[in-house]
């Protein structure tokens, strides 16, 4: 992953989000910013809520439920974490 893909300030967030996603990555797929959470990792709505709770706990943030439906990729997760950190 290059800095142009992640931005230098996002790298630690990517690494931590990737670490959290390993629990859901049963097929051992390579995780990339464009990895689709549902199609490639088979994260359904229940698993998505579990993942969101893990992310909220790890970063001490709140992710509004209305944003969850828009989280389709790893990049979406990272972007949401950064936005919510800024809103805190």
Summarize pLDDT for 10-48 with one digit per residue, the tens: 679 999 999 999 999 999 999 999 999 999 999 998 999
pLDDT computed for residue 9 by the predictor? 56
Which residue in the block uniquely carries the two structure tokens 């859901």?
A: 24
CB atoms within 10 A of CB 24: 18
CATH architecture of 9-82: Orthogonal Bundle (1.10)
- The structural domains of the chain, with segments of one domain joined by +, span 9-82
Q: Is 28 left (phi over 0), alpha (psi -120 to 50) or beta?
A: left
Label residue 8 by pLDDT band (50, 70, 90).
Answer: very low
Size of the chain, expressed as the number of residues it contains: 88
- Which of 53, 64, 59 lies closest to 78 in space, CA to CA? 59
pTM, full prediction: 0.82
For residue range 53-81, what is the model confidence (pLDDT) as tens digits?
999 999 999 999 999 989 999 999 999 99
pLDDT computed for residue 59 by the predictor? 94
pLDDT computed for residue 10 by the predictor? 61
């Amino acid at each position: 992953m290059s800095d142009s893909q992640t931005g230098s300030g996002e790298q630690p967030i990517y690494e931590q989000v990737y670490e959290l996603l390993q629990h859901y990555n049963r097929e051992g797929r390579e995780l990339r910013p464009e990895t689709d959470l549902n199609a490639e990792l088979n994260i359904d709505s229940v698993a998505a809520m579990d993942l969101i709770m893990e992310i909220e706990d790890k970063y001490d943030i709140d992710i509004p439920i209305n944003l969850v439906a828009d989280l389709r990729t790893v990049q979406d997760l990272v972007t949401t974490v950064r936005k919510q950190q800024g809103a805190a």
